[in-house]
Amino acid sequence: MSYISSLRCLLCGREYKPTEVIYTCPRCGHNGILEVNYNYEVIKKVFTKESLENNKNFFMWRYLPLLPIDNPSLIGPLNVGWTPLYEAKRMMDYLGVNNLWIKDDGRNPTASLKDRASAIAVVKAQELGIATLTCASTGNAASSLAGASASLGLKNFIFVPRTAPKAKIAQLLVFGATVFAINGTYDQAFDLSIEASENFGWYNRNTAYNPYMVEGKKTVALEIAEQMNFDVPDYVFVSVGDGCIISGVHKGFYDLFNLGFVNKIPKLVAVQAEGCKPIVDAVNGDGVIKYVEPHTIADSISVGIPRNGKMAVRDIKESGGFGIAVSDDEILSSIKLLGSIQGIFAEPAGVTGFAGYIKAITNGVIAKNSKVVVIVTGNGLKDVDSAMKSVKSPLQIEPSLESVKCALNNICR
């Protein structure tokens, strides 16, 4: 059994046992997101820095005592987590900063951070004896769920906006999911998937509805802390859509703070696209989320109704962080910059946190010697069409040395 002590409603504060409720607070309805509380005093007895040191499981499951899993034998076979944390030496030289780290979560099984949450979802569904799962997604949550489900023989019904990038659709279909491409937005897909799961009895993985997704996503922060030898950064920059990843990052550091592994929680910086920045505006303003019609190339964070907005705003403010918005052009040029300087290829939303970091450094919002981790949330191969907008075309030549020389001369001219 897990070390969960209770599930607490974000709105009314009422607490439940995990056996009493599956998704949200029965009193508050769909907006009553439940937060997972753990019995840290008991966890401290089995989970220590020494036990971690001796743990040869280099996946997210090395943090099992901090995860909401009752039956570990139901964990899927794909290797999720323990992604690289790179000290970005060349980027530091390029930007004139001196303490920048990049966590490349595009190295997960289906090439996004969302694999961490889906790995939890498939276990929770099986624990309930449910073999069919659903979710709404801009693409990555779904492809991660479909991959994890395929590896375990679970069925999927997926709701995505018709505009989702082709690569994410291809993943879904290859993994065998039934895909509903809806003539509408992610926000509509979200509501429809809940209606469908209530109607058909499918287990629902939706972010900010299923209480356990934040718990999966927090493993990225657990890893960052351990990979930095528990000397945590001053800031963590995260791209934000629904606001579930950034709350996961907060939760990971919060867990470690409560266990005495780290002495502070980093300031969390939410980065959104200028065309879709309800959480940035709320964090920097009165704290209230105002819904917007999303307009951005970064499909994964093109979320006008951020379902986890309330929790995210609270977490960012509590950490002492802030919000920052970047243009689509800044996102595109960051794809090229991160690729050409560090050899890391990120999708638009994957690189948005990094674009925000550059803006924060450039504008003097944070000091150049701040210790910063930027999370890359998804691989560039997920959205090649957007990447191509950030670069020039190849040089078309005939297969001859003369043709090479001519092309090179044209470049130099």
Q: CB of 192: closest distance to a copy of itself in angstroms?
A: 5
Among 54, 363, 392, 413, binds a copy of itself (CB under 8 A): 392
State both tokens at 160.
Answer: 């995505």
| DSSP-derived secondary structure for 132-173 | EEEEE-SSHHHHHHHHHHHTTT-EEEEEEETTS-HHHHHHHH
By CB under 8 A, how many residues form the interface with a copy of itself? 80
Site for a copy of itself in 360-379 (CB under 8 A): 379
User: And the tokens for 11?
Assistant: 């709105």
Applying CB under 8 A, which part among 26-34, 65-73, 210-218, 396-404 lies near a copy of itself? 396-404
CA dist 103 and 226 (Å) reads 12
Q: E strand or H helix at 357, and its extent?
A: helix 348-362
- Rounded to the nearest 10°, the torsion over CA 73, 79, 81, 83 is 160
SS3 199: helix
Give me the sign of the Cα torsion angle 400, 404, 410, 413.
Answer: negative
Question: By CB under 8 A, is residue 400 in contact with a copy of itself?
Answer: yes
Residue selected from 64, 192, 365, 367 as contacting a copy of itself according to rule CB under 8 A: 192
Q: To the nearest whole angstrom, how small is the minimum distance from the Cβ of residue 58 to a copy of itself?
A: 6
| Stretch of 21-29, 186-194, 238-246, 364-372 lying at the interface with a copy of itself (CB under 8 A) | 186-194
Q: Smallest gap, in angstroms, from Cβ of residue 71 to a copy of itself? A: 17
Minimum CB separation of residue 350 from a copy of itself in Å reads 12
- Tell me how far, at minimum, the Cβ of 313 lies from a copy of itself, in Å: 27
Length of the chain in residues, anyone?
Answer: 413
Query: Which DSSP letter does residue 268 get?
Result: E
Residues 29-58 within binding reach of a copy of itself (CB under 8 A) = 58
Question: x/- string (CB under 8 A) for a copy of itself, residues 144-173?
Answer: --xxxxxxxx------x-x---xx-xxxxx
Residues 21, 92, 367, 397: which binds a copy of itself (CB under 8 A)? 397
Residues 109-148 that bind a copy of itself (CB under 8 A): 109-111, 146-148
- 232 is a contact residue toward a copy of itself (CB under 8 A): no
**Binds a copy of itself (CB under 8 A): choice among 50, 129, 364, 401:** 401
Footprint of a copy of itself on 302-321 (CB under 8 A): none
* Residue 331 binds a copy of itself, judged by CB under 8 A: no
Residues 47-106 within binding reach of a copy of itself (CB under 8 A): 58, 76-79, 84, 86-87, 89-90
To a copy of itself, the closest distance from the beta carbon of 209 in angstroms equals 17
Provide the token pair at 70: 């009752």
Check: CB of residue 74 under 8 Å from CB of residue 203.
Answer: no
Query: DSSP state, 378?
Result: B
270 φ/ψ sector (left φ>0, alpha ψ -120 to 50, else beta): beta
Q: Smallest gap, in angstroms, from Cβ of residue 126 to a copy of itself?
A: 14
Q: What is the SS3 assignment for 55? A: coil
Please name the helix (run of DSSP H) or strand (run of DSSP E) that holds residue 16, with its range, or none: strand 15-16
